[in-house]
């Protein structure tokens, strides 16, 4: 592995590490060109140049759809995607005070969730997920929820160890001199009157104990740029879509289906060109015909001209059968890609009768494919993200080390709850169909309510469900009210008879 960087070596490190990234970057640009070209423009692209336009839109639709679903799964709106769990030994030692501690931790969870809702972090996370789906890699910098940024693959290089943990990253930014402080311009020998953009290199290193970073301009360290944070609370998060053992960079969803996307692109281009040629109307007049070609050209709709209809014919393309073959293959490719990117239109088969249960099972099967992706993102994004938020947000106390840890409750864990919920639904439905309504009497209603609430991810389900004591008290009160009502009927009748005239 390369040696660790030394001071004023950022430019050299970038040059050496970018050479190792060239193959990954080339594949990522191919993926972006067939989906959303603006996510990773071609090399040398400028703001005044135009981007390539794909002949199909299913790639862009699939990326946006998958990124949206992941955003809802990883950062569900209005719901905490984590909980603060207490060590079992500590929980046992707390005894009766455990409830008070859990209430305090729940307050911290709500405070972090409210901070996420009030910050502009969601659009940035959506952009990050789009980069992961297309290119497989992204680098997030989260000093705080309001100052978060994302760097695309051509803006950073990274090295990982054999276990996939990040070791070193170099980030390259080009800024205008007017955006830099006077002290930085003077220390780094930057001409503030020049219109040329300045390259800023940021080096980030990870060790077992901390994350360290600093910036350099013109091989000079930027004053005040060096920082150090403890492990687990760092500002830099290198993310991957699918981890590849032994490689520094991940692979994206689009790369796995690049063959289908390329085939669909070529077919759609051919179909569009064929349709354009087929839509062209060319009228041919037989040589030495009695019909005047000028009369045909100048005739308006409804005009009467002199001529022989057999002298006139229209050019036609005798390739309808070939067009049908290309169109059929393109439709099959679209269906496969719709399945890959969880587009519901591709989940439903083309048939007269498609049951809701069939659609649900196919959708569940497709979402299960993303289980490995959820696992990677929960470890590399969700856990570092929530730790960084808790470290950067004001008013949140520092939690005791090795006593309270955040536990992710969405993503892959949510998939497991969905499976349990679906099994419970199927069991209750089969029981009712097999034994009739009386079959439900064998079930414990309170336990069913608890499991349904847990499956839907509802917080504090216990407070929503009446306890057996409350139900028994309500039943006794209802029985007493019924007895009183029955007794009041005859008494009221007797009083009415006594009061009536003889």
- pLDDT tens for 165-178 read 999 999 999 988 88
Question: Which three-class secondary structure string do you get for 111-149?
Answer: HHHHHHHHCCHHHHHHHHHHHHHHHCEEEEECCCCCCCE
CB 176 within 8 A of CB 197: yes
pLDDT of residue 497: 59
Write phi, then psi, for 303 (nearest 5 degrees).
-70, 155
Within 13 Å, how many C-alpha atoms sit on residue 456's CB side? 10
- β-partners of residue 312 are 285
Rounded to an integer, what distance in angstroms lies between the CA atom of residue 135 and that of residue 39?
A: 9
pLDDT of residue 68: 87
CB 183 within 8 A of CB 166: no
What single DSSP character describes residue 379? Answer: I
> Which residues neighbour 33 within 8 Å (Cβ) at sequence distance 6 or greater?
42, 52, 54
Nearest to 375 by CA among 472, 242, 499, 286: 242
> Which residues neighbour 448 within 8 Å (Cβ) at sequence distance 6 or greater?
424, 428
Which three-class secondary structure state does DSSP give residue 419? helix
Name the packing angle between helices 22-33 and 121-135 (round to 10°): 100
Question: Residue-wise over 268-291: b if at least 16 C-beta within 10 A, else e?
Answer: beebeebeeeeeeeeeebeeeeeb
Rounded to an integer, what distance in angstroms lies between the CA atom of residue 434 and that of residue 447?
A: 21
pLDDT of residue 284: 86
> Which residues neighbour 1 within 8 Å (Cβ) at sequence distance 6 or greater?
159, 161, 167
Distances (CA, A) of 425 to 67, 90, 109, 301, 465: 29, 37, 30, 66, 19
The DSSP line for 461-473 is GGGGSPPHHHHHH
Rounded to an integer, what distance in angstroms lies between the CA atom of residue 238 and that of residue 233?
A: 14
> Which residues neighbour 221 within 8 Å (Cβ) at sequence distance 6 or greater?
7, 8, 214, 215
> Which residues neighbour 343 within 8 Å (Cβ) at sequence distance 6 or greater?
58, 61, 62, 65, 337
Within 13 Å, how many C-alpha atoms sit on residue 146's CB side? 5
Residue 400, Cβ neighbours under 10 Å: how many? 10
CB 101 within 8 A of CB 85: no
Rounded to an integer, what distance in angstroms lies between the CA atom of residue 157 and that of residue 139?
A: 9
Rounded to an integer, what distance in angstroms lies between the CA atom of residue 286 and that of residue 492?
A: 109
Q: What is the pLDDT of residues 418-438, one digit of tens each?
A: 556 677 777 778 777 887 777
> Which residues neighbour 113 within 8 Å (Cβ) at sequence distance 6 or greater?
78, 79, 80
Nearest to 143 by CA among 208, 207, 225: 225
Domain ranges of the chain: 256-367
Which three-class secondary structure state does DSSP give residue 35? coil
Within 13 Å, how many C-alpha atoms sit on residue 199's CB side? 12
| Spans in the chain with pLDDT lower than 50 | 1-8, 359, 362-363, 366
- β-partners of residue 172 are 201
Rounded to an integer, what distance in angstroms lies between the CA atom of residue 112 and that of residue 95?
A: 27
CB 234 within 8 A of CB 206: yes
What single DSSP character describes residue 317? Answer: -
pLDDT of residue 207: 86
């Amino acid at each position: 592995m390369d040696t660790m960087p030394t001071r004023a070596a950022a430019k050299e490190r970038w040059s050496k590490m970018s050479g190792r990234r060239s193959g990954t970057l080339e594949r990522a640009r191919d993926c972006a060109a067939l989906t959303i070209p603006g996510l990773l423009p071609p090399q040398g692209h400028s703001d005044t140049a135009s981007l390539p336009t794909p002949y199909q839109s299913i790639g862009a639709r699939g990326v946006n759809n998958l990124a949206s679903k992941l955003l809802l799964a990883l950062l569900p709106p209005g719901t905490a995607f984590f909980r603060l769990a207490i060590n079992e030994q500590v929980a046992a030692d707390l005894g009766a005070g455990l409830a008070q501690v859990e209430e305090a931790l729940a307050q911290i969870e709500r405070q972090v969730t409210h901070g996420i809702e009030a910050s502009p972090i969601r659009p940035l996370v959506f952009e990050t997920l789009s980069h992961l789906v297309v290119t497989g890699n992204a680098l997030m910098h989260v000093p705080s929820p309001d100052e978060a940024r994302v760097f695309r693959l051509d803006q950073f290089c990274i090295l990982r160890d054999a276990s996939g943990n990040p070791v070193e990253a170099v980030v390259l930014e080009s800024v205008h001199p007017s955006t830099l402080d006077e002290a930085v311009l003077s220390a780094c020998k930057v001409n503030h009157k020049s219109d040329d953009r300045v390259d800023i290199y940021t080096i980030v290193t990870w060790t077992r104990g901390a994350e360290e970073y600093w910036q350099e301009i013109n091989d000079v360290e930027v004053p005040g740029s060096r920082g150090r944070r403890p492990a687990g609370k760092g500002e830099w998060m290198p993310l991957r879509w699918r981890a590849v053992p032994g490689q520094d960079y991940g692979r994206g969803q689009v790369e796995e289906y690049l063959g289908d996307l390329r085939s669909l692109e070529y077919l759609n281009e051919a179909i569009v060109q064929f349709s354009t040629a087929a839509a062209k109307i060319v009228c041919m007049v037989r040589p030495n015909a009695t019909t005047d070609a000028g009369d045909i050209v100048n005739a308006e709709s409804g005009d009467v001209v002199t001529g022989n209809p057999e002298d006139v014919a229209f050019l036609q393309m005798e390739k309808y059968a070939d067009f049908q073959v290309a169109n059929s293959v393109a439709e099959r490719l679209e269906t496969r890609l719709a399945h890959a990117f969880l587009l519901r239109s591709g989940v439903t088969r083309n048939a007269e009768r498609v049951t809701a249960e069939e659609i649900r099972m196919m959708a569940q099967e497709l979402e299960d494919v993303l289980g490995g992706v959820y696992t990677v993102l929960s470890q590399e994004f969700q856990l570092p993200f929530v730790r960084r938020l808790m470290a950067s947000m004001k008013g949140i106390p520092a939690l005791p080390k090795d006593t309270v840890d955040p536990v992710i409750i969405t993503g892959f864990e949510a998939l497991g709850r969905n499976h349990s919920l679906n099994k419970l639904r199927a069991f209750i439905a089969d029981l009712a169909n097999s034994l009739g309504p009386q079959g439900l009497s064998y079930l414990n209603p309170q336990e069913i309510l608890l499991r349904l609430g847990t499956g839907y991810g509802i917080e504090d389900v216990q407070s929503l469900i009446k306890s057996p004591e409350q139900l028994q008290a309500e039943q006794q009160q209802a029985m007493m009210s019924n007895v009183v009502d029955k007794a009041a009927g005859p008494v009221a009748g007797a009083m009415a008879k006594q009061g009536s005239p003889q």
